[in-house]
Amino acid sequence: MTKVTVLGTGLMGAGMARSLARAGEQVTVWNRSPDKALPLADAGATVAEDPAAAVSGAEVVMTMLFDADAVEQVMAQALPAMRDDAVWIQSATVGLDGTARLARLADRNDIGFIDAPVLGTRQPAEQGKLIVLAAGPTSLRQRVTPVFDAIGARTVWVGEHPGHGHRLKLAANSWVLSVTGATAQGIALTRQLGLDPALFLEAISGGPLDCDYAQLKGNAMIVGDFAPAFTLGGAVKDSALIVQALQAAGCDDRLMKALNAQFEDGAQAGLGGEDMSAVVRVFS
């Protein structure tokens, strides 16, 4: 049994904490809004009142907060209370610069650091079927393996240096956001041209143009079910981080800039808390 603390129990963090508890790990949770953490007590987790109390005695501390600033603020309180031999798994999507900043913070506090963003949304997090994209020292891998096995269907070790996991995460998310935006455009155009939008999904179904994600998000767009699995506000943040990564890598950023503008328009229209599939409303 591993003593694991999860800091941040939003859509993703809550599911990850449940998966850890189901796997038999000793789980402590904390969230800035206590009402998002309290239900996890029913799953067997201990709910802490503050970050320092949450990490006290933990062997592994996992952060799943919104952005780099939020992670840094919380860990400034948590790090002084952590065991000397504890490992910090940083799973929030914070971008390349954010990861470098947090890795330096861990280093200044002499705490082992694993860069481990995940692929998947709320349901895979609840089911323990995320894909973990991990990077960190080989010497720490055995200690975090039980945690990754509990939350994920598999772990891809990208490299030994913090930031390598995030590089793959941003590349993968560029595809996820592109599929979502392209599906929204296809659904909206089919509808605006006077056809049943379900015909778009039927046309691509089962062939080389099809993918499960397009069907999942496309059906949600058609019926207007925008219960959040990954929020549109999160898509705004992640697409901006991808633009930054594209620019740093010397890649053309025009496609992601256009997608970021679409997601931003949706957020400005009050859809930031809805699932990112709500971007379809921007097209019509």
Q: Which domain holds residue 79?
A: 3-161
- HSE value, Cβ hemisphere, 13 Å, CA-based, for 206: 2
Same domain, 74 and 181: no
Same domain, 109 and 56: yes
137, 161, 185: which is the final residue of a domain?
A: 161
Same domain, 144 and 180: no
Same domain, 154 and 195: no
Tell me what pLDDT residue 284 has. Answer: 82
Six token digits for residue 195: 């056809």
Same domain, 10 and 140: yes
Q: Which of 222, 88, 206, 218 is nearest to 147 (CA)?
A: 88
Supply the CATH number for residue 77's domain: 3.40.50.720
SS3 197: coil
Same domain, 47 and 151: yes
Count of structural domains, the chain: 2
Same domain, 156 and 171: no
Confirm whether pTM is higher than 0.85: yes
Q: What is the DSSP string of 109-178?
A: TT-EEEE--EE--HHHHHHT-EEEEEES-HHHHHHHHHHHHHHEEEEEEEESSTTHHHHHHHHHHHHHHH
C-alpha span between 81 and 86 (Å, rounded): 10
Same domain, 140 and 243: no
* Residue 253: count of CB within 10 angstroms of its CB: 17
Same domain, 204 and 113: no
161, 190, 222: which is the final residue of a domain?
A: 161
Q: Which of 146, 150, 177 is nearest to 256 (CA)?
A: 177
Q: How far is CA 44 from the centre of its chain?
A: 23
Supply the CATH number for residue 233's domain: 1.10.1040.10
Q: Which of 113, 123, 249 is nearest to 174 (CA)?
A: 249
Same domain, 155 and 53: yes
Tens of pLDDT, residue by residue, the chain (284 residues): 899 999 999 999 999 999 999 999 999 999 999 999 999 999 999 999 999 999 999 999 999 999 999 999 999 999 999 999 999 999 999 999 999 999 999 999 999 999 999 999 999 999 999 999 999 999 999 999 999 999 999 999 999 999 999 999 999 999 999 999 999 999 999 999 999 999 999 999 999 999 999 999 999 999 999 999 999 999 999 999 999 999 999 999 999 999 999 999 999 999 999 999 999 999 98
Same domain, 135 and 258: no
Tell me what pLDDT residue 1 has. Answer: 87
Q: What angle is formed at CA 132 by the lines to CA 128 and CA 136, rounded to 5 degrees? A: 135
Tokens 């939008």: give the residue. 197
Contact 246, 239 (CB under 8 A): no
Phi/psi region, residue 32 (left: phi>0; alpha: psi -120 to 50; beta: rest), is alpha
Residue 37: φ, ψ to 5°: -100, -35
161, 182, 213: which is the final residue of a domain?
A: 161
Same domain, 146 and 203: no
